[in-house]
Amino acid sequence: CGNSDTGDDAGDGNGKIVLGFSQVGAESGWRTANTNSIKESAAAAGIELKFDDAQQKQENQIKAIRNFIQQKVDVIAFSPVVESGWDTVLKEAKDAGIPVILTDRSVDSADKSLYQTFIGSDFVKEGRLSGEWLVEQTKNATGPVNIVELQGTTGSAPANDRKKGFAEAIAANPNLKIIASQTGDFTRAGGKAVMEQFLKANPKIDVLFAHNDDMGLGALEAITAAGKVPGKDITIITIDAVKDGMQALADGRFNFIAECSPLLGDQLMELVKKVHAGESVPARVETEETTFTQEQAKAALPNRKY
């Protein structure tokens, strides 16, 4: 296996590095910003991008990766829709001598030699920061605080990890109870539909924890339709901090957001160049992020790029 080729096998012979990228889909504002970032950064770095949208289906991603292998791209990067079930296709890429970079979401493969590096956020931390904020807000609560949770795509790294981090953090206060938890698949429509069910089934909901802004935004409609005031009657915590989410936070309809940055493009292209050149890269590249309260969202909103 060598990195000695000039990188033009799959391209038009112009000597550019060819990157095959398999994206999860277009399920959220985060994803749209992430796709734009990858496309812009590839163009700026002079990397030829072959982009595939998997429409949130693992089988489509496996197909796309096999196509990239067949086309002999130089590097493959992808954002795995779910964590499990990648060993076979990753082995195929490895056998073909094509380095793989995991972007945004990770896989649970035991064999770490199947990919070069993983660039993305610490999702457990995002869940934990969300939970810690709630623990602080509710420290004087004398009775039960009922929480409903809108989970991301079932089996995805961000859904698994955010759930875990949040649950660990809220264990600090026995008054905090998750009374219902279901997937809304990271979409607005999903968030709305599941929140409607939650509201029908549970007369007392104090807090909504949504694994992303979009589901929280969908839930706002359900909450308002049920005659409740979001941000007041129900405290809303989400993750991402995309523009619409930040606007809802600044307007007082959300209460707290843990940021998850979709702007991975530049760092990804740097890694693509390095692995293509056969240079060593860190096994894990973590994204820098913060959290926002309503006041902080008001201040940050004018300069938000996505």
The site for ligand GYE (CB under 6 A) is made up of 27-28, 30-31, 104-105, 158, 186, 212, 214, 239-240, 260
> Judged by CB, which is closer to ligand GYE: 158, or 230?
158
> Judged by CB, which is closer to ligand GYE: 150, or 169?
150
Q: How far apart are CA 254 and CA 247, in angstroms?
A: 9
Nearest approach, Cβ of 224 to ligand GYE (angstroms)?
22
Nearest approach, Cβ of 6 to ligand GYE (angstroms)?
33
> Judged by CB, which is closer to ligand GYE: 146, or 183?
183
Nearest approach, Cβ of 37 to ligand GYE (angstroms)?
13
> Judged by CB, which is closer to ligand GYE: 135, or 210?
210
> Judged by CB, which is closer to ligand GYE: 68, or 123?
123
Nearest approach, Cβ of 158 to ligand GYE (angstroms)?
4
The radius of gyration of the chain from alpha carbons, rounded to an integer in Å, stands at 21
Nearest approach, Cβ of 295 to ligand GYE (angstroms)?
23
> Judged by CB, which is closer to ligand GYE: 239, or 246?
239
Q: Give how far Cα 230 sits from Cα of 40, 190, 239, Å.
A: 36, 18, 16
Nearest approach, Cβ of 10 to ligand GYE (angstroms)?
27
